[in-house]
């Protein structure tokens, strides 16, 4: 089967990740189709994943060779906690149930969870052997999804991924890095942040897309794996890099409301399992990611 005949269905295709992943896979020759909660268009189908009849119609229309399930509620400050479980947990299980009911068995079903399932482990490097202890409803809904999805490992070729922080052009501005870049693009004189002395992963969206592609084409199934780089970026280094890119220094003010209690100074993911499964994946320097976002 050549790539052009390989159909990839991306749920949540109009999300930040979905848009980048769609373009990335199309450029490699895949036939990319997707679902959207909001609208429809060329190879994009309006679909509410909490409604099985809508999923059934999409699956029968597309008959995908691969599924990458991105659709869900990802903003942790979303107002209605019940929505996290209704969409992120039950919606995902609806997808798996419908595939089984229709007798479909795609070459790969990638279910996107989150590194937030780990919660506060008191460790600086997190690997897949740790017992998740999610600390918010978003993380809990994703872990509940993982737990339920394991029951389908013998029926479908499933990989569950736990992405750590990543960013890039066109990410929503309520996320940290786009917020910082926007302040510089608008020539703001000051910015309010939380704890400045922390280090986190801020991976590039292209790095994430390549990992998804490699997982898609691998023989891996029935696995839970981090999407990470073990590359910690200090928040103060982000500000310093942006000062140089923008050509001026912004004043940073600490807002205590943004500081989390018992926040870990350094937090990254272990790449050991990921790179053992698909080989090492390189990414551009973070300064280049910031420049791309600033100049876009």
Question: What is the biggest distance separating any 2 CA atoms in the chain, rounded to whole angstroms?
Answer: 59
The predicted structure's pLDDT at residue 250: 98
- Report how far Cα 182 is from the mean position of its chain's Cα atoms: 21
Quick one: average pLDDT of 235-243?
96
Q: How far apart are CA 159 and CA 223, in angstroms?
A: 5
Residue whose token pair is 């229309």: 61
The answer to whether the Cα torsion of 235, 119, 143, 132 is positive or negative is: positive
Q: How far apart are CA 242 and CA 257, in angstroms?
A: 24
The predicted structure's pLDDT at residue 296: 93
Q: Is residue 5 over pLDDT 70?
A: no
> What does the angle CA 69 – CA 75 – CA 77 come to, to the nearest 5 degrees?
150
pLDDT tens column, 124-154: 999 999 999 998 899 999 999 999 999 999 9
pLDDT-derived band at 107 (thresholds 50, 70, 90) equals very high
Q: How far apart are CA 230 and CA 202, in angstroms?
A: 10
Report the C-alpha dihedral over residues 151, 153, 157, 163, rounded to 10 degrees.
Answer: 80
Q: How far apart are CA 288 and CA 121, in angstroms?
A: 31
Q: Is residue 4 over pLDDT 60?
A: no
pLDDT-derived band at 93 (thresholds 50, 70, 90) equals very high
What residues form DSSP beta bridges with 126? 269
Question: What would the two tokens of residue 15 be?
Answer: 């999300």
Q: How far apart are CA 235 and CA 62, in angstroms?
A: 43
Q: Are strands 251-254 and 166-167 parallel, antiparallel or unpaired?
A: unpaired
The predicted structure's pLDDT at residue 262: 64
- 262 torsion bin: left (phi>0), alpha (psi -120 to 50), beta (else): left
Q: Is residue 197 over pLDDT 90?
A: no
* Helix or strand run (H / E) with residue 66: strand 66-69
Q: Is residue 78 over pLDDT 80?
A: no
N- to C-terminal Cα separation, the chain: 37
Q: How far apart are CA 83 and CA 69, in angstroms?
A: 17
The answer to whether the Cα torsion of 193, 259, 144, 115 is positive or negative is: positive
Q: Is residue 37 over pLDDT 80?
A: yes
Q: Do 159 and 112 contact (CB within 8 A), yes or no?
A: no
The predicted structure's pLDDT at residue 104: 98
Q: How far apart are CA 58 and CA 194, in angstroms?
A: 43
CATH 3.40.50.720 fits 3-168+203-230+269-284, yes or no: yes
pLDDT-derived band at 2 (thresholds 50, 70, 90) equals low
């Amino acid at each position: 089967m050549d790539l052009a005949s390989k159909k990839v269905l991306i749920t949540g295709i109009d999300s930040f990740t979905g848009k980048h992943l769609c373009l990335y896979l199309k450029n490699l020759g895949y036939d990319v189709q997707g679902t959207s909660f909001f609208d429809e268009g060329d190879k994009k189908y309006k679909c509410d994943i909490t409604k099985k009849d809508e999923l059934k119609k999409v699956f029968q229309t597309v008959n995908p060779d691969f599924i990458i399930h991105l659709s869900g509620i990802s903003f942790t400050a979303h107002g209605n906690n019940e929505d996290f479980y209704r969409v992120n947990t039950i919606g995902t299980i609806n997808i798996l149930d419908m595939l089984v009911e229709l007798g479909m068995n795609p070459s790969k079903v990638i279910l996107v969870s989150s590194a937030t399932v780990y919660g506060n482990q008191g460790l600086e490097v997190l690997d897949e052997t740790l017992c998740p202890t999610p600390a918010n409803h978003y993380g809990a809904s994703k872990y509940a999804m993982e737990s339920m999805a394991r029951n389908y490992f013998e029926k479908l070729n499933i990989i569950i991924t736990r992405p750590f922080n990543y960013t890039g052009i066109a990410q929503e501005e309520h996320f940290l890095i786009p917020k910082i870049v926007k302040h510089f693009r608008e020539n703001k004189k000051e910015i309010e942040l939380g704890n400045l002395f922390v280090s986190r992963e801020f991976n590039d969206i292209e790095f994430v897309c390549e990992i998804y592609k490699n997982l898609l084409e691998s023989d891996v199934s029935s696995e839970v794996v981090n999407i990470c780089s073990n590359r910690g970026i200090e928040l103060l280094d982000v500000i310093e890099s942006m000062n140089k890119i923008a050509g001026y220094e912004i004043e940073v003010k600490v807002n205590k409301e943004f500081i989390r209690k018992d926040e870990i100074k350094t937090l990254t993911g272990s790449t050991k399992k990921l790179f053992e499964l698909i080989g090492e994946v390189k990414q551009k320097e973070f300064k280049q990611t910031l420049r791309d976002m600033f100049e876009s």
